[in-house]
Amino acid sequence: METHQAETSPYKVLMPQGLSGPIEVISEYSIVRMAVVERAHATKLHESWNVPGAYLLLDRPDALGRWGVYVGMAAPGTLAHRLRDHLRARDHWYRAVLIRRDNEHPFHTSQAGWLEGHLYDLLAKAPHVRLHNGKRPQDLTLSAHDQIGMRTCVPPIIDLLHFLSHTLDPAIAAPPQATATEEAGSPAELAVPRTAPATMRTTEASSPRRPRYRSSITVRDLIEAGLLTPGTSLVPKPSHLREQAVVNLDGTLQFRGTPREKPSDPASELAGSQQNGWEFWRVETRHGPVSLSDLRSELERRQAASHAAAPPRAE
């Protein structure tokens, strides 16, 4: 009987003494070197990390496997300094991934800018990932030839995110005790156990489908709970789409002059393909964009807390 062995990618992991500093990861088949930095250790980076590169500031995944991220780049001599700056400027992240070249020739600014934009595009396609960037970063000065070489840096970064339980695959994003919520009629997303590899060698495995439920919460419920205000403009998650929808008092969304009953209807019309409107539409806040799905989860949390705090009824 012939057996199939999954493809693996070897990595070298450098652990700090006492686990009080960043963990460095080196891909044997790429020029990329990465560091996993806990927020508490952000000031302990060696000066060798003050080179051009890219970085990801990660939020903790929630109960449904969703997580937020900020993508950035650093100009020459500033990667470690940029991370320290974000200790003051951004309070959402608990862990960072830094990316640099693993040799004596560092990335130049155009390469770091291209990597920043490419990582943003990959993350923007994941429905369970929320980007904190206000707009898409990009650097259009890198030649097509250099872009081919830079693409070899990307798979190790995705592997490392998967190892850290920040997978880009929505099919394995949700942990076993949670189920994804969606509005009736929206395309189903798998809710299956989270799988974290035991080593830095990636494998592929199929996961079974799990039972799901449909949330009964509507946009009007969000309004009545004070989580959404009539007249609020909703912006699409894909940055290349510019049209907005407006929240009506009755919970419908005003789009292209017509009220729409479900968030997915204007989202699908705008995108040109079937969309989950609860993930598609976002509210701009001073803390960054928040999806309708995030607001629905907050209302569900409040309802659960209220139910748990209610005194038992007398028999």
Q: Is residue 300 part of a domain?
A: yes
Please tell me the predicted confidence (pLDDT) of residue 36. 94
What value does the mean pLDDT of the chain take?
80
CA dist., res. 281 & res. 221, Å (int): 16
Model's pTM, two decimal places?
A: 0.55
Q: Is residue 188 part of a domain?
A: no
Domain boundary among 140, 170, 200: 170
Please tell me the predicted confidence (pLDDT) of residue 260. 94
Please tell me the predicted confidence (pLDDT) of residue 200. 42
Q: Are residues 61 and 132 in the same domain?
A: yes
User: What average pLDDT does range 82-103 have in this prediction?
Assistant: 89
Q: Is residue 113 part of a domain?
A: yes
Interhelix angle 154-163/109-124, rounded to 10 degrees, is 50
Please tell me the predicted confidence (pLDDT) of residue 303. 82
Q: Which distant-in-sequence residues (6+ apart) come within 8 Å of 292 by Cβ?
A: 219, 222, 228, 234, 263, 277, 278, 279, 281, 282, 283
Q: Are residues 52 and 114 in the same domain?
A: yes
Please tell me the predicted confidence (pLDDT) of residue 69. 95
Domain extent for 290: 219-306
Domain count, the chain: 2
Q: Are residues 232 and 292 in the same domain?
A: yes
Query: What residues form DSSP beta bridges with 285?
Result: 288
User: What average pLDDT does range 138-161 have in this prediction?
Assistant: 86
Q: Are residues 44 and 161 in the same domain?
A: yes
For 94, other C-beta atoms within 10 Å of its C-beta total 12
Q: Are residues 165 and 236 in the same domain?
A: no
- Report pLDDT digits (tens) over 12-30: 998 887 667 889 999 887 8
Residue with more model confidence, 306 or 135: 135
In the predicted model, is pLDDT for residue 154 greater than 80?
yes
Q: Are residues 114 and 225 in the same domain?
A: no
Q: Are residues 113 and 256 in the same domain?
A: no
Q: Are residues 72 and 131 in the same domain?
A: yes
Is the dihedral angle over the CA atoms 25, 34, 51, 47 positive or is it negative?
negative
- Report pLDDT digits (tens) over 185-231: 333 332 333 333 334 443 334 444 444 446 789 999 999 988 899 99
Q: Are residues 234 and 87 in the same domain?
A: no
Domain boundary among 129, 144, 170: 170
Residue with more model confidence, 104 or 208: 104
Q: Is residue 69 part of a domain?
A: yes
Q: Are residues 36 and 148 in the same domain?
A: yes
Q: Is residue 46 part of a domain?
A: yes
- Report pLDDT digits (tens) over 49-58: 888 899 999 9
Q: Is residue 3 part of a domain?
A: no
Q: Is residue 146 part of a domain?
A: yes
Q: Is residue 109 part of a domain?
A: yes
Q: Are residues 119 and 55 in the same domain?
A: yes
